[in-house]
Structure 1
Protein backbone atom coordinates (compact mmCIF):
# COMPACT_ATOMS: atom_id res chain seq x y z
CA UNK A 1 0.00 0.00 0.00
CA UNK A 2 2.85 2.39 0.84
CA UNK A 3 4.51 1.61 -2.51
CA UNK A 4 1.22 2.31 -4.31
CA UNK A 5 0.89 5.65 -2.53
CA UNK A 6 4.45 6.57 -3.45
CA UNK A 7 3.85 5.61 -7.08
CA UNK A 8 0.68 7.73 -7.20
CA UNK A 9 2.54 10.68 -5.71
CA UNK A 10 5.30 10.38 -8.32
CA UNK A 11 2.74 10.17 -11.15
CA UNK A 12 0.96 13.28 -9.87
CA UNK A 13 4.25 15.17 -9.54
CA UNK A 14 5.07 14.28 -13.14
CA UNK A 15 1.65 15.57 -14.20
CA UNK A 16 2.31 18.84 -12.35
CA UNK A 17 5.63 19.27 -14.17
CA UNK A 18 3.96 18.49 -17.51
CA UNK A 19 1.01 20.85 -17.01
CA UNK A 20 3.25 23.54 -15.56
CA UNK A 21 5.33 23.68 -18.72
CA UNK A 22 9.07 23.85 -19.35
CA UNK A 23 11.16 24.74 -16.32
CA UNK A 24 8.43 24.00 -13.77
CA UNK A 25 10.35 21.24 -12.00
CA UNK A 26 13.49 23.35 -11.73
CA UNK A 27 11.53 26.29 -10.34
CA UNK A 28 9.69 24.19 -7.74
CA UNK A 29 12.95 22.58 -6.63
CA UNK A 30 14.09 26.03 -5.53
CA UNK A 31 11.54 25.86 -2.70
CA UNK A 32 13.44 24.62 0.35
CA UNK A 33 11.42 25.42 3.49
CA UNK A 34 12.85 24.19 6.81
CA UNK A 35 11.78 20.66 7.72
CA UNK A 36 11.29 18.97 11.06
CA UNK A 37 11.75 15.27 11.86
CA UNK A 38 8.44 14.52 10.10
CA UNK A 39 9.64 16.03 6.83
CA UNK A 40 7.38 19.10 6.95
CA UNK A 41 7.85 22.73 7.94
CA UNK A 42 6.64 23.97 11.36
CA UNK A 43 3.12 24.49 9.97
CA UNK A 44 2.76 21.16 8.17
CA UNK A 45 3.78 22.30 4.65
CA UNK A 46 5.41 19.60 2.50
CA UNK A 47 6.78 20.68 -0.91
CA UNK A 48 6.72 17.19 -2.46
CA UNK A 49 3.20 16.50 -1.20
CA UNK A 50 2.03 19.89 -2.49
CA UNK A 51 3.65 19.34 -5.89
CA UNK A 52 1.63 16.12 -6.24
CA UNK A 53 -1.59 17.42 -4.68
CA UNK A 54 -1.64 20.50 -6.88
CA UNK A 55 -1.88 18.44 -10.10
CA UNK A 56 -5.72 18.35 -10.22
CA UNK A 57 -5.86 22.08 -9.44
CA UNK A 58 -3.27 22.77 -12.12
CA UNK A 59 -5.43 20.84 -14.60
CA UNK A 60 -8.35 23.10 -13.66
CA UNK A 61 -6.04 26.11 -13.96
CA UNK A 62 -4.77 25.20 -17.45
CA UNK A 63 -7.65 23.27 -19.01
CA UNK A 64 -10.92 24.17 -17.30
CA UNK A 65 -10.71 27.78 -16.11
CA UNK A 66 -7.86 28.57 -18.60
CA UNK A 67 -6.45 31.16 -16.26
CA UNK A 68 -4.82 34.30 -17.66
CA UNK A 69 -2.47 36.18 -15.34
CA UNK A 70 -1.80 39.90 -15.50
CA UNK A 71 0.82 41.86 -13.57
CA UNK A 72 2.31 38.94 -11.65
CA UNK A 73 5.75 40.44 -12.26
CA UNK A 74 4.77 43.05 -9.66
CA UNK A 75 4.90 40.41 -6.92
CA UNK A 76 8.07 40.80 -4.81
CA UNK A 77 10.21 37.64 -5.11
CA UNK A 78 10.80 37.32 -1.37
CA UNK A 79 9.80 38.68 2.01
CA UNK A 80 6.53 38.77 3.90
CA UNK A 81 3.43 39.64 1.88
CA UNK A 82 -0.32 39.86 2.21
CA UNK A 83 -2.23 39.12 -0.99
CA UNK A 84 -5.67 40.69 -0.57
CA UNK A 85 -8.31 39.63 -3.09
CA UNK A 86 -12.02 39.78 -3.82
CA UNK A 87 -13.94 36.59 -3.04
CA UNK A 88 -16.76 34.94 -5.01
CA UNK A 89 -18.02 31.79 -6.69
CA UNK A 90 -19.67 29.81 -3.84
CA UNK A 91 -16.67 27.45 -3.57
CA UNK A 92 -13.16 28.88 -3.08
CA UNK A 93 -11.69 28.03 -6.47
CA UNK A 94 -10.51 31.65 -6.63
CA UNK A 95 -8.15 30.98 -3.71
CA UNK A 96 -6.92 27.79 -5.39
CA UNK A 97 -6.22 29.54 -8.70
CA UNK A 98 -4.22 32.31 -6.99
CA UNK A 99 -2.21 29.67 -5.13
CA UNK A 100 -1.48 27.79 -8.36
CA UNK A 101 -0.47 30.98 -10.19
CA UNK A 102 2.04 31.89 -7.49
CA UNK A 103 3.35 28.30 -7.45
CA UNK A 104 3.87 27.77 -11.20
CA UNK A 105 4.13 31.21 -12.82
CA UNK A 106 6.85 32.77 -10.66
CA UNK A 107 10.58 32.06 -10.60
CA UNK A 108 11.27 31.28 -7.83
CA UNK A 109 7.73 30.18 -6.86
CA UNK A 110 5.90 31.61 -3.87
CA UNK A 111 4.22 28.98 -1.71
CA UNK A 112 1.51 31.28 -0.40
CA UNK A 113 -0.89 30.21 2.31
CA UNK A 114 -4.61 30.84 2.47
CA UNK A 115 -6.35 31.38 5.78
CA UNK A 116 -9.15 28.87 6.14
CA UNK A 117 -12.19 28.96 8.38
CA UNK A 118 -12.01 27.06 11.67
CA UNK A 119 -14.71 24.61 10.56
CA UNK A 120 -12.43 23.34 7.75
CA UNK A 121 -10.06 21.84 10.32
CA UNK A 122 -12.90 19.57 11.52
CA UNK A 123 -13.32 17.88 8.13
CA UNK A 124 -11.76 14.40 7.83
CA UNK A 125 -9.03 14.06 5.17
CA UNK A 126 -9.53 17.66 4.00
CA UNK A 127 -7.85 19.07 7.09
CA UNK A 128 -4.75 16.92 6.48
CA UNK A 129 -4.67 17.83 2.80
CA UNK A 130 -4.85 21.54 3.62
CA UNK A 131 -2.12 21.29 6.24
CA UNK A 132 0.30 19.44 3.95
CA UNK A 133 -0.29 22.09 1.30
CA UNK A 134 0.53 24.80 3.84
CA UNK A 135 -2.96 26.16 4.45
CA UNK A 136 -3.77 27.14 8.01
CA UNK A 137 -6.65 28.22 10.23
CA UNK A 138 -6.69 32.02 10.10
CA UNK A 139 -6.08 32.90 13.73
CA UNK A 140 -4.21 36.16 14.46
CA UNK A 141 -1.39 34.25 16.17
CA UNK A 142 -0.89 31.94 13.17
CA UNK A 143 -0.74 34.97 10.89
CA UNK A 144 1.80 36.79 13.05
CA UNK A 145 4.08 33.76 13.23
CA UNK A 146 3.96 33.20 9.46
CA UNK A 147 4.65 36.83 8.60
CA UNK A 148 7.49 36.92 11.12
CA UNK A 149 8.96 34.02 9.11
CA UNK A 150 8.62 36.10 5.87
CA UNK A 151 5.81 33.94 4.49
CA UNK A 152 3.11 35.08 2.04
CA UNK A 153 -0.56 34.94 3.04
CA UNK A 154 -3.71 35.21 0.90
CA UNK A 155 -6.66 36.85 2.61
CA UNK A 156 -10.22 37.60 1.52
CA UNK A 157 -11.54 40.42 3.73
CA UNK A 158 -15.09 39.94 2.42
CA UNK A 159 -15.13 36.41 3.84
CA UNK A 160 -18.31 34.41 3.32
CA UNK A 161 -20.15 37.65 2.47
CA UNK A 162 -18.21 37.77 -0.79
CA UNK A 163 -18.05 34.05 -1.49
CA UNK A 164 -21.80 33.50 -1.25
CA UNK A 165 -23.21 36.79 -2.49
CA UNK A 166 -26.13 36.56 -4.95
CA UNK A 167 -25.82 37.03 -8.70
CA UNK A 168 -27.39 40.49 -8.47
CA UNK A 169 -24.30 41.71 -6.56
CA UNK A 170 -21.63 40.24 -8.82
CA UNK A 171 -18.37 42.22 -8.88
CA UNK A 172 -19.68 44.48 -6.13
CA UNK A 173 -17.20 44.31 -3.27
CA UNK A 174 -18.82 43.55 0.06
CA UNK A 175 -17.70 45.00 3.37
CA UNK A 176 -14.04 44.53 4.26
CA UNK A 177 -13.03 43.75 7.81
CA UNK A 178 -10.12 45.68 9.33
CA UNK A 179 -8.21 42.65 10.60
CA UNK A 180 -5.92 42.30 7.58
CA UNK A 181 -4.95 45.97 7.75
CA UNK A 182 -4.16 45.79 11.47
CA UNK A 183 -2.02 42.74 10.72
CA UNK A 184 -0.15 44.52 7.91
CA UNK A 185 0.62 47.48 10.18
CA UNK A 186 1.64 45.32 13.13
CA UNK A 187 3.96 43.12 11.04
CA UNK A 188 5.20 45.84 8.64
CA UNK A 189 3.91 43.89 5.66
CA UNK A 190 3.22 45.15 2.12
CA UNK A 191 -0.20 44.37 0.62
CA UNK A 192 -0.54 43.12 -2.96
CA UNK A 193 -4.11 43.72 -4.23
CA UNK A 194 -5.54 40.98 -6.47
CA UNK A 195 -8.60 41.29 -8.67
CA UNK A 196 -10.23 37.98 -9.65
CA UNK A 197 -12.42 38.15 -12.76
CA UNK A 198 -14.33 35.02 -13.77
CA UNK A 199 -15.15 33.40 -10.44
CA UNK A 200 -18.47 35.24 -10.21
CA UNK A 201 -19.76 33.38 -13.26
CA UNK A 202 -18.55 29.92 -12.24
CA UNK A 203 -21.52 29.32 -9.93
CA UNK A 204 -24.39 31.78 -9.75
CA UNK A 205 -26.35 31.77 -6.48
CA UNK A 206 -30.10 31.91 -6.99
CA UNK A 207 -31.01 31.51 -3.33
CA UNK A 208 -29.63 30.19 -0.04
CA UNK A 209 -30.40 26.94 1.81
CA UNK A 210 -29.63 28.01 5.39
CA UNK A 211 -31.24 25.03 7.15
CA UNK A 212 -29.31 22.50 5.10
CA UNK A 213 -26.14 24.56 5.60
CA UNK A 214 -26.60 24.42 9.38
CA UNK A 215 -27.25 20.68 9.19
CA UNK A 216 -23.96 20.20 7.33
CA UNK A 217 -22.12 22.65 9.65
CA UNK A 218 -21.33 24.87 6.69
CA UNK A 219 -21.37 28.69 6.78
CA UNK A 220 -23.64 28.83 3.71
CA UNK A 221 -25.09 26.61 0.99
CA UNK A 222 -26.48 28.25 -2.15
CA UNK A 223 -28.83 26.89 -4.80
CA UNK A 224 -27.34 27.38 -8.25
CA UNK A 225 -28.51 26.68 -11.83
CA UNK A 226 -26.71 23.32 -11.68
CA UNK A 227 -28.41 22.47 -8.36
CA UNK A 228 -25.16 22.55 -6.40
CA UNK A 229 -22.21 24.94 -6.57
CA UNK A 230 -20.36 22.88 -9.20
CA UNK A 231 -18.34 25.42 -11.20
CA UNK A 232 -19.02 26.28 -14.81
CA UNK A 233 -15.91 26.67 -17.03
CA UNK A 234 -15.75 30.46 -16.90
CA UNK A 235 -12.40 31.89 -17.95
CA UNK A 236 -10.40 33.30 -15.06
CA UNK A 237 -8.32 36.45 -15.17
CA UNK A 238 -6.05 37.20 -12.19
CA UNK A 239 -4.93 40.81 -11.94
CA UNK A 240 -2.05 41.60 -9.56
CA UNK A 241 -1.57 45.22 -8.53
CA UNK A 242 1.42 47.14 -7.25
CA UNK A 243 2.34 46.44 -3.60
CA UNK A 244 0.83 48.92 -1.14
CA UNK A 245 2.57 50.01 2.07
CA UNK A 246 0.89 51.76 4.95
CA UNK A 247 2.30 53.54 7.97
CA UNK A 248 0.67 53.87 11.35
CA UNK A 249 -0.29 51.79 14.35
CA UNK A 250 -2.63 48.77 14.39
CA UNK A 251 -4.23 50.47 17.39
CA UNK A 252 -5.22 53.61 15.47
CA UNK A 253 -8.87 54.55 15.71
CA UNK A 254 -11.35 52.85 13.41
CA UNK A 255 -11.80 55.89 11.18
CA UNK A 256 -8.09 56.05 10.36
CA UNK A 257 -7.90 52.31 9.73
CA UNK A 258 -11.03 52.41 7.59
CA UNK A 259 -9.41 55.04 5.36
CA UNK A 260 -6.55 52.63 4.65
CA UNK A 261 -8.91 49.69 4.19
CA UNK A 262 -10.81 51.78 1.62
CA UNK A 263 -7.52 52.40 -0.23
CA UNK A 264 -6.97 48.64 -0.58
CA UNK A 265 -10.59 48.10 -1.52
CA UNK A 266 -10.30 50.84 -4.14
CA UNK A 267 -7.19 49.24 -5.63
CA UNK A 268 -8.98 45.89 -5.98
CA UNK A 269 -12.06 47.56 -7.41
CA UNK A 270 -9.84 49.29 -9.98
CA UNK A 271 -8.31 45.96 -11.01
CA UNK A 272 -11.79 44.44 -11.36
CA UNK A 273 -12.98 47.33 -13.51
CA UNK A 274 -9.92 47.01 -15.74
CA UNK A 275 -10.34 43.26 -16.00
CA UNK A 276 -14.03 43.47 -16.87
CA UNK A 277 -13.38 46.20 -19.45
CA UNK A 278 -10.67 44.13 -21.17
CA UNK A 279 -12.44 40.77 -20.95
CA UNK A 280 -13.65 39.60 -24.34
CA UNK A 281 -16.09 36.91 -23.14
CA UNK A 282 -17.07 35.09 -19.97
CA UNK A 283 -16.26 31.60 -21.25
CA UNK A 284 -13.54 32.08 -23.88
Structure 2
Protein backbone atom coordinates (compact mmCIF):
# COMPACT_ATOMS: atom_id res chain seq x y z
CA UNK A 1 0.00 0.00 0.00
CA UNK A 2 1.46 3.35 -1.03
CA UNK A 3 1.04 6.13 1.45
CA UNK A 4 1.37 9.72 0.34
CA UNK A 5 0.59 13.00 2.07
CA UNK A 6 -0.45 14.61 -1.16
CA UNK A 7 -2.91 13.45 -3.79
CA UNK A 8 -4.34 14.41 -7.15
CA UNK A 9 -7.57 15.68 -5.63
CA UNK A 10 -8.69 19.22 -6.23
CA UNK A 11 -8.76 19.94 -2.48
CA UNK A 12 -5.17 18.80 -1.90
CA UNK A 13 -1.71 20.11 -2.74
CA UNK A 14 -1.46 20.82 -6.48
CA UNK A 15 0.69 18.35 -8.41
CA UNK A 16 2.03 18.35 -11.95
CA UNK A 17 0.27 16.21 -14.53
CA UNK A 18 3.29 13.91 -14.84
CA UNK A 19 3.62 13.47 -11.07
CA UNK A 20 -0.06 12.72 -10.83
CA UNK A 21 0.22 10.15 -13.59
CA UNK A 22 3.15 8.47 -11.88
CA UNK A 23 1.20 8.40 -8.60
CA UNK A 24 -1.74 6.68 -10.32
CA UNK A 25 0.57 4.17 -12.05
CA UNK A 26 2.28 3.32 -8.77
CA UNK A 27 -1.07 2.66 -7.18
CA UNK A 28 -2.23 0.57 -10.13
CA UNK A 29 0.94 -1.53 -10.50
CA UNK A 30 1.94 -1.70 -6.85
CA UNK A 31 5.50 -0.66 -7.75
CA UNK A 32 7.08 1.94 -5.49
CA UNK A 33 9.50 4.59 -6.76
CA UNK A 34 8.29 4.11 -10.33
CA UNK A 35 9.77 7.46 -11.28
CA UNK A 36 13.26 6.14 -10.56
CA UNK A 37 12.72 3.11 -12.80
CA UNK A 38 11.41 5.32 -15.59
CA UNK A 39 14.34 7.68 -15.22
CA UNK A 40 16.72 4.72 -15.54
CA UNK A 41 14.84 3.52 -18.63
CA UNK A 42 15.04 6.99 -20.16
CA UNK A 43 18.80 7.01 -19.47
CA UNK A 44 19.26 3.64 -21.18
CA UNK A 45 17.23 4.84 -24.15
CA UNK A 46 19.36 7.96 -24.45
CA UNK A 47 22.51 5.85 -24.12
CA UNK A 48 21.66 3.14 -26.65
CA UNK A 49 19.45 5.02 -29.12
CA UNK A 50 22.41 6.16 -31.28
CA UNK A 51 23.69 2.57 -31.34
CA UNK A 52 20.27 1.28 -32.38
CA UNK A 53 20.00 3.91 -35.10
CA UNK A 54 23.48 3.01 -36.37
CA UNK A 55 22.41 -0.61 -36.89
CA UNK A 56 19.11 0.40 -38.50
CA UNK A 57 20.53 2.94 -40.98
CA UNK A 58 22.03 0.34 -43.37
CA UNK A 59 18.44 -0.80 -43.98
CA UNK A 60 18.01 2.40 -46.01
CA UNK A 61 20.27 0.90 -48.68
CA UNK A 62 18.13 -2.24 -48.83
CA UNK A 63 14.99 -0.10 -48.98
CA UNK A 64 16.40 1.80 -51.97
CA UNK A 65 17.21 -1.50 -53.67
CA UNK A 66 13.60 -2.63 -53.27
CA UNK A 67 12.38 0.77 -54.46
CA UNK A 68 14.46 0.10 -57.58
CA UNK A 69 12.80 -3.31 -57.93
CA UNK A 70 9.37 -1.69 -57.54
CA UNK A 71 10.18 0.82 -60.30
CA UNK A 72 11.20 -2.04 -62.61
CA UNK A 73 7.95 -3.90 -61.96
CA UNK A 74 5.89 -0.77 -62.66
CA UNK A 75 7.88 -0.20 -65.83
CA UNK A 76 7.32 -3.79 -66.91
CA UNK A 77 3.55 -3.29 -66.67
CA UNK A 78 3.68 -0.27 -68.95
CA UNK A 79 4.44 -2.32 -72.04
CA UNK A 80 3.28 0.43 -74.38
CA UNK A 81 6.54 2.28 -73.59
CA UNK A 82 8.41 -0.30 -75.63
CA UNK A 83 8.10 1.75 -78.78
CA UNK A 84 9.86 4.68 -77.14
CA UNK A 85 13.15 2.78 -76.88
CA UNK A 86 14.13 1.25 -80.20
CA UNK A 87 17.28 -0.48 -78.94
CA UNK A 88 16.21 -2.00 -75.64
CA UNK A 89 12.92 -2.00 -73.81
CA UNK A 90 14.69 -1.67 -70.44
CA UNK A 91 16.86 1.35 -71.32
CA UNK A 92 14.38 3.78 -69.81
CA UNK A 93 14.00 1.69 -66.65
CA UNK A 94 17.76 1.49 -66.12
CA UNK A 95 18.07 5.23 -66.63
CA UNK A 96 15.27 5.91 -64.12
CA UNK A 97 16.76 3.64 -61.46
CA UNK A 98 20.35 4.83 -61.90
CA UNK A 99 19.20 8.47 -61.82
CA UNK A 100 17.57 7.80 -58.45
CA UNK A 101 20.82 6.31 -57.13
CA UNK A 102 22.92 9.14 -58.54
CA UNK A 103 20.73 11.79 -56.89
CA UNK A 104 20.94 9.87 -53.61
CA UNK A 105 24.73 9.64 -54.01
CA UNK A 106 25.10 13.38 -54.50
CA UNK A 107 22.81 14.31 -51.60
CA UNK A 108 23.72 11.70 -48.99
CA UNK A 109 27.44 11.26 -49.64
CA UNK A 110 28.42 14.26 -51.77
CA UNK A 111 29.61 11.65 -54.25
CA UNK A 112 32.36 12.47 -56.76
CA UNK A 113 33.83 10.45 -59.62
CA UNK A 114 37.40 11.17 -60.74
CA UNK A 115 39.13 9.68 -63.76
CA UNK A 116 36.12 9.37 -66.05
CA UNK A 117 38.40 10.03 -69.02
CA UNK A 118 40.24 6.77 -68.30
CA UNK A 119 37.15 4.70 -69.06
CA UNK A 120 37.33 3.42 -72.67
CA UNK A 121 34.40 3.34 -75.05
CA UNK A 122 34.96 -0.34 -75.77
CA UNK A 123 34.74 -3.39 -73.47
CA UNK A 124 36.85 -3.54 -70.32
CA UNK A 125 37.00 -5.35 -67.00
CA UNK A 126 36.83 -3.16 -63.88
CA UNK A 127 38.21 -4.45 -60.58
CA UNK A 128 37.65 -2.77 -57.23
CA UNK A 129 37.98 -3.01 -53.46
CA UNK A 130 34.69 -4.21 -51.92
CA UNK A 131 33.26 -2.14 -49.07
CA UNK A 132 30.85 -3.57 -46.50
CA UNK A 133 28.08 -2.97 -49.05
CA UNK A 134 28.24 -2.45 -52.84
CA UNK A 135 26.93 1.10 -52.33
CA UNK A 136 29.86 2.71 -54.11
CA UNK A 137 29.40 0.37 -57.07
CA UNK A 138 25.78 1.49 -57.39
CA UNK A 139 27.00 5.08 -57.33
CA UNK A 140 29.79 4.37 -59.82
CA UNK A 141 27.50 2.65 -62.35
CA UNK A 142 24.96 5.47 -62.03
CA UNK A 143 27.56 8.20 -62.51
CA UNK A 144 29.18 6.53 -65.52
CA UNK A 145 25.78 6.02 -67.16
CA UNK A 146 24.79 9.62 -66.46
CA UNK A 147 28.06 11.21 -67.63
CA UNK A 148 29.36 8.83 -70.28
CA UNK A 149 26.20 6.97 -71.40
CA UNK A 150 28.04 3.72 -70.76
CA UNK A 151 26.50 0.83 -68.84
CA UNK A 152 28.63 -1.45 -66.64
CA UNK A 153 27.47 -4.97 -65.77
CA UNK A 154 28.41 -6.54 -62.43
CA UNK A 155 29.65 -10.00 -61.60
CA UNK A 156 27.69 -10.84 -58.43
CA UNK A 157 28.02 -13.48 -55.74
CA UNK A 158 25.75 -16.51 -56.11
CA UNK A 159 23.67 -15.69 -53.02
CA UNK A 160 22.47 -12.45 -54.66
CA UNK A 161 20.54 -14.45 -57.25
CA UNK A 162 18.49 -16.19 -54.54
CA UNK A 163 17.47 -13.05 -52.62
CA UNK A 164 13.68 -12.45 -52.54
CA UNK A 165 12.49 -10.17 -55.33
CA UNK A 166 15.95 -9.72 -56.89
CA UNK A 167 15.29 -11.68 -60.08
CA UNK A 168 13.99 -8.74 -62.10
CA UNK A 169 16.86 -6.58 -60.83
CA UNK A 170 19.61 -9.00 -61.86
CA UNK A 171 17.84 -9.65 -65.18
CA UNK A 172 17.40 -5.99 -66.13
CA UNK A 173 20.93 -5.04 -65.08
CA UNK A 174 22.36 -8.25 -66.57
CA UNK A 175 24.26 -9.32 -63.47
CA UNK A 176 26.43 -12.37 -64.07
CA UNK A 177 27.00 -15.24 -61.61
CA UNK A 178 30.74 -15.18 -62.29
CA UNK A 179 31.73 -18.21 -64.37
CA UNK A 180 34.76 -17.55 -66.55
CA UNK A 181 32.94 -18.72 -69.68
CA UNK A 182 30.01 -16.31 -69.22
CA UNK A 183 32.25 -13.37 -68.37
CA UNK A 184 34.54 -13.98 -71.33
CA UNK A 185 31.56 -14.26 -73.66
CA UNK A 186 30.06 -11.02 -72.35
CA UNK A 187 33.32 -9.13 -72.86
CA UNK A 188 33.78 -10.53 -76.37
CA UNK A 189 30.26 -9.33 -77.14
CA UNK A 190 31.32 -5.78 -76.29
CA UNK A 191 30.02 -5.49 -72.74
CA UNK A 192 31.89 -3.88 -69.88
CA UNK A 193 32.05 -5.84 -66.63
CA UNK A 194 33.02 -5.06 -63.05
CA UNK A 195 34.13 -7.56 -60.43
CA UNK A 196 35.51 -7.40 -56.91
CA UNK A 197 37.92 -10.33 -56.54
CA UNK A 198 37.66 -10.00 -52.74
CA UNK A 199 33.91 -10.54 -52.93
CA UNK A 200 31.76 -11.13 -49.87
CA UNK A 201 34.73 -12.14 -47.72
CA UNK A 202 36.40 -8.78 -48.27
CA UNK A 203 33.10 -6.97 -47.76
CA UNK A 204 32.43 -8.56 -44.39
CA UNK A 205 35.87 -9.10 -42.91
CA UNK A 206 38.09 -6.29 -44.12
CA UNK A 207 38.23 -3.26 -41.81
CA UNK A 208 39.13 0.42 -41.49
CA UNK A 209 42.70 -0.47 -42.51
CA UNK A 210 41.34 -1.40 -45.97
CA UNK A 211 43.03 -4.80 -46.04
CA UNK A 212 42.53 -6.48 -49.42
CA UNK A 213 41.33 -10.09 -49.14
CA UNK A 214 41.78 -11.34 -52.69
CA UNK A 215 43.61 -14.55 -51.78
CA UNK A 216 45.02 -16.27 -54.86
CA UNK A 217 42.12 -15.42 -57.15
CA UNK A 218 43.21 -15.07 -60.74
CA UNK A 219 40.16 -16.21 -62.71
CA UNK A 220 39.20 -12.60 -63.44
CA UNK A 221 42.65 -12.04 -64.95
CA UNK A 222 42.28 -15.10 -67.18
CA UNK A 223 38.94 -13.71 -68.36
CA UNK A 224 40.59 -10.42 -69.34
CA UNK A 225 43.33 -12.30 -71.19
CA UNK A 226 40.90 -14.57 -73.04
CA UNK A 227 38.70 -11.61 -74.03
CA UNK A 228 41.75 -9.44 -74.84
CA UNK A 229 40.44 -6.46 -72.87
CA UNK A 230 42.13 -4.06 -70.45
CA UNK A 231 41.67 -4.23 -66.69
CA UNK A 232 40.76 -0.94 -65.05
CA UNK A 233 41.08 -0.53 -61.25
CA UNK A 234 38.96 1.81 -59.18
CA UNK A 235 38.61 2.58 -55.49
CA UNK A 236 36.16 4.62 -53.43
CA UNK A 237 37.63 6.77 -50.69
CA UNK A 238 35.96 6.37 -47.26
CA UNK A 239 33.78 3.45 -48.34
CA UNK A 240 34.60 1.65 -45.07
CA UNK A 241 33.49 4.70 -43.11
CA UNK A 242 30.13 4.69 -44.84
CA UNK A 243 29.11 1.25 -43.57
CA UNK A 244 31.08 -0.97 -41.21
CA UNK A 245 30.70 -4.56 -40.06
CA UNK A 246 31.24 -6.65 -36.94
CA UNK A 247 33.39 -9.00 -39.00
CA UNK A 248 36.18 -8.79 -36.43
CA UNK A 249 34.22 -11.18 -34.18
CA UNK A 250 35.74 -14.65 -34.69
CA UNK A 251 32.49 -16.63 -34.28
CA UNK A 252 30.94 -14.69 -37.17
CA UNK A 253 33.95 -15.46 -39.35
CA UNK A 254 33.67 -19.16 -38.43
CA UNK A 255 29.98 -19.20 -39.38
CA UNK A 256 30.71 -17.65 -42.79
CA UNK A 257 33.65 -19.92 -43.61
CA UNK A 258 31.59 -23.01 -42.78
CA UNK A 259 28.22 -22.03 -44.22
CA UNK A 260 28.97 -19.23 -46.72
CA UNK A 261 26.05 -17.32 -45.19
CA UNK A 262 26.80 -13.56 -44.87
CA UNK A 263 25.34 -13.32 -41.34
CA UNK A 264 27.48 -10.39 -40.17
CA UNK A 265 25.70 -7.32 -38.71
CA UNK A 266 26.26 -4.01 -40.45
CA UNK A 267 26.12 -0.55 -38.94
CA UNK A 268 26.52 2.97 -40.19
CA UNK A 269 25.38 4.28 -43.56
CA UNK A 270 26.89 7.53 -42.37
CA UNK A 271 26.75 10.50 -44.79
CA UNK A 272 30.53 10.55 -45.22
CA UNK A 273 32.28 11.98 -48.24
CA UNK A 274 32.70 9.38 -50.98
CA UNK A 275 35.02 9.83 -53.96
CA UNK A 276 35.65 7.13 -56.55
CA UNK A 277 39.03 7.21 -58.26
CA UNK A 278 39.56 5.37 -61.55
CA UNK A 279 43.12 4.16 -62.06
CA UNK A 280 45.16 3.79 -65.23
CA UNK A 281 44.07 0.90 -67.45
CA UNK A 282 46.24 -2.23 -67.50
CA UNK A 283 46.35 -3.06 -71.22
CA UNK A 284 46.00 -6.53 -72.66
CA UNK A 285 49.37 -8.23 -73.03
CA UNK A 286 49.50 -11.76 -74.52
CA UNK A 287 52.87 -12.34 -72.86
CA UNK A 288 51.53 -11.86 -69.30
CA UNK A 289 50.18 -14.86 -67.39
CA UNK A 290 46.93 -14.77 -65.42
CA UNK A 291 48.85 -14.90 -62.12
CA UNK A 292 51.02 -11.96 -63.14
CA UNK A 293 48.04 -9.95 -64.38
CA UNK A 294 46.08 -10.65 -61.20
CA UNK A 295 49.02 -9.37 -59.14
CA UNK A 296 49.25 -6.26 -61.32
CA UNK A 297 45.56 -5.56 -60.82
CA UNK A 298 45.81 -6.07 -57.05
CA UNK A 299 48.81 -3.74 -56.85
CA UNK A 300 46.94 -1.13 -58.91
CA UNK A 301 43.99 -1.12 -56.50
CA UNK A 302 46.38 -1.05 -53.54
CA UNK A 303 48.13 1.99 -55.05
CA UNK A 304 44.78 3.80 -55.26
CA UNK A 305 44.11 2.96 -51.60
CA UNK A 306 47.57 4.16 -50.56
CA UNK A 307 47.20 7.39 -52.51
CA UNK A 308 43.64 8.39 -51.63
CA UNK A 309 42.80 6.80 -48.29
CA UNK A 310 44.09 7.78 -44.85
CA UNK A 311 44.74 4.64 -42.82
CA UNK A 312 43.10 3.77 -40.52
CA UNK A 313 39.82 5.21 -41.73
CA UNK A 314 37.97 7.54 -39.38
CA UNK A 315 34.24 8.21 -39.55
CA UNK A 316 34.42 11.71 -38.06
CA UNK A 317 37.21 12.75 -40.43
CA UNK A 318 35.27 11.35 -43.39
CA UNK A 319 32.19 13.33 -42.28
CA UNK A 320 34.23 16.52 -42.02
CA UNK A 321 35.46 16.06 -45.59
CA UNK A 322 31.93 16.94 -46.68
CA UNK A 323 32.76 20.52 -45.68
CA UNK A 324 36.15 20.82 -47.39
CA UNK A 325 36.29 23.79 -49.73
CA UNK A 326 39.20 22.49 -51.79
CA UNK A 327 39.54 18.92 -52.92
CA UNK A 328 42.92 17.25 -52.69
CA UNK A 329 44.84 16.87 -55.91
CA UNK A 330 44.36 13.53 -57.66
- TM-score for the superposition, normalised by structure 2: 0.63
2:129 to 72, 81, 86: 86
Taking the aligned partners of 1:273 and 1:206, their CA distance within structure 2 comes to: 24
Where structure 1 has 5 or more consecutive residues not aligned to the other structure, the ranges are 10-31, 40-45
SS in 2 for 1:116: coil
Shift of the 104–232 alpha-carbon distance from structure 1 to 2, 3 Å rule, reads same
**Contact 1:85–1:193 (8 Å) recurs in 2:** yes
Which residue number corresponds to residue 282 of structure 1?
318
Which residue number corresponds to residue 73 of structure 1?
117
Pairing of 1:61-140 with structure 2 (within 5 A): 61-76=105-120, 78-89=121-132, 91-106=133-148, 109-140=149-180
2:213 to 174, 188, 193: 174
Taking the aligned partners of 1:213 and 1:229, their CA distance within structure 2 comes to: 18
Residues paired across the two proteins, number = 235
Deviation at 1:123, TM superposition (A): 2.2
Deviation at 1:282, TM superposition (A): 0.6
**Contact 1:47–1:133 (8 Å) recurs in 2:** no
- TM-score for the superposition, normalised by structure 1: 0.72
Pairing of 1:1-284 with structure 2 (within 5 A): 34-35=87-88, 39=89, 46-76=90-120, 78-89=121-132, 91-106=133-148, 109-167=149-207, 170-176=209-215, 177-207=217-247, 209=252, 219-223=261-265, 228-229=266-267, 231-248=269-286, 256-276=289-309, 281-283=317-319, 284=322
Deviation at 1:99, TM superposition (A): 0.9
Q: Which has the larger radius of gyration?
A: 2
Deviation at 1:87, TM superposition (A): 0.8
**Structure 1 runs (4+) greater than 6 angstroms displaced:** 210-214
Taking the aligned partners of 2:240 and 2:254, their CA distance within structure 1 comes to: 24
Deviation at 1:218, TM superposition (A): 6.6
Say which structure is richer in helix: 2
Taking the aligned partners of 2:198 and 2:111, their CA distance within structure 1 comes to: 22
Deviation at 1:59, TM superposition (A): 2.7
Q: How well do the aligned residues superpose, as a CA RMSD in angstroms?
A: 3.2
Taking the aligned partners of 2:125 and 2:138, their CA distance within structure 1 comes to: 16
SS in 2 for 1:136: coil
